Structure 1
């Protein structure tokens, strides 16, 4: 069995390797610093940071701030994963101004304010979450050039528990960054869970790392999944045809 260790296993562990998990963290998308003027934004909250995601727009006001304006971010979707991960899809209440730099602000975080940062590989420093709006408005939906196919499963034990994934290869094109809207149905219980996943090297890894993840397979043996393409401007290409079946990774 080919071992595939997705990025989320790495980012949700502490610096001492795979021995223990961090207690909280936020993740922000799009990952590129230049976005379309009609961009949407996605924030994932891990472990205790899930309460921030659930409270966005109520307990925690969230907006984009430029030098001369604030643009409110409205929660379009709130998605609760099955293993220590919750996600919000946010849409600005108006189009971003071309050429302006916007900083993401989440109010009332107190001691958790330091979580609204990301690591810059070039400077080796944490920095505030900022995007610059381009003069491009993206209204074209992504396209599959090769629809997802099951390729392998993986189950690996680490310090805090297993990392388990069903892996699917695909190919797609778009004018913007895109996520994979993934809906998994447990055929034993009938329960469906939906989450937006980032693909890595044309690979969609459905499951969870040792610390967190969108999908958990403990309550069943047979599952089915549907994938839709969702780009950074909110354009979506819905899944058509039969769902893909897979078994619980072992």
Structure 2
């Protein structure tokens, strides 16, 4: 009888919690498999994987591969978060060919398996692939509703604190979008910039117990500015005055009854 391993995936609307943080990981934007002809990519490294992000196109060549052809990805900028996260923004050196399927490749990774996505239908980890469409997207995202703080989270876990400020922020675009958040310490002037996800009109600034782009310190006043970017690199700035922020003051407790729990049985041979 083949043994199976039960993996519990916890997807939380306002937080993500894991009993064990791990020591590496890579996340890639966009998540959608279909690309326009002029895409941009964000590759984000957690913990030990930050070193690979900082060494892209040095020790670690990054490119798209389709059959025997390769398209180099050019690093436009690198952003370093406050706690265990680093990301690079990239674009193809040449225009992609419609109809082709490209896989994302990074050479010389210590553990190549971290550059994979889990497919819940096949219950397997798969290479990160994209298919290119015919459209050249030059349209900027449209802000439909200004960002407003909707919830604050200050939760204590076994491995550390989860400190988050959650925004409602409605944006219209034909592709996935992310938000470049600039958080400024109003007392020292220190700034941190990082791209964060915008999912179901929700945007989260802060950290969980394992990592996070922004550390909110006690008794410190902050302000935030936002620029929305779609999957083709088109940008729209939220042009009103910066939004004032502070670290959540009241301790919160997770409402486990509201968590969306997904259980998946995965064969050990597939891991």
Structure 2-normalised TM-score? 0.85
In 1, are the aligned partners of 2:118 and 2:125 still within 8 Å (CA)?
A: yes
Please give the alpha-carbon distance, in whole angstroms, between the structure 1 residues aligned to 2:232 and 2:241: 27
User: Which residue number corresponds to residue 9 of structure 1?
Assistant: 16
In 1, are the aligned partners of 2:81 and 2:192 still within 8 Å (CA)?
A: yes
In 2, are the aligned partners of 1:44 and 1:88 still within 8 Å (CA)?
A: yes
In 2, are the aligned partners of 1:144 and 1:171 still within 8 Å (CA)?
A: yes
User: Which residue number corresponds to residue 23 of structure 2?
Assistant: 23
Once the two structures are TM-superposed, the CA of residue 200 in structure 1 deviates from its matched residue by 2.5
Please give the alpha-carbon distance, in whole angstroms, between the structure 2 residues aligned to 1:53 and 1:79: 10
Once the two structures are TM-superposed, the CA of residue 66 in structure 1 deviates from its matched residue by 0.4
Going from structure 1 to structure 2, the CA distance change for 1:6 and 1:191 (only over 3 Å counts) comes to: farther
User: Which residue number corresponds to residue 84 of structure 2?
Assistant: 84
Q: Does 1:158 align with 2:165?
A: no
In 1, are the aligned partners of 2:64 and 2:105 still within 8 Å (CA)?
A: yes
CA shift digits 1:170-206 (9 cap, x unpaired): 1110121110111100112211111000022211111
CA shift digits 1:71-92 (9 cap, x unpaired): 0001011000001000011100
Please give the alpha-carbon distance, in whole angstroms, between the structure 1 residues aligned to 2:181 and 2:13: 16
- Mark the runs of 5 or more structure 1 residues left unpaired by the alignment: none
1:1-250 to 2 correspondences below 5 Å: 5=12, 9-10=16-17, 13=18, 18=19, 20-109=20-109, 111-218=110-217, 221-250=220-249
CA shift digits 1:37-95 (9 cap, x unpaired): 11111111000110010000111001001014110001011000001000011100011
Once the two structures are TM-superposed, the CA of residue 151 in structure 1 deviates from its matched residue by 1.9
Corresponding residue pairs, total: 239
SS in 2 for 1:52: helix
Please give the alpha-carbon distance, in whole angstroms, between the structure 2 residues aligned to 1:220 and 1:104: 43
- Mark the runs of 5 or more structure 2 residues left unpaired by the alignment: 1-10, 250-271
SS in 2 for 1:53: helix
Pairwise CA RMSD: 1.6
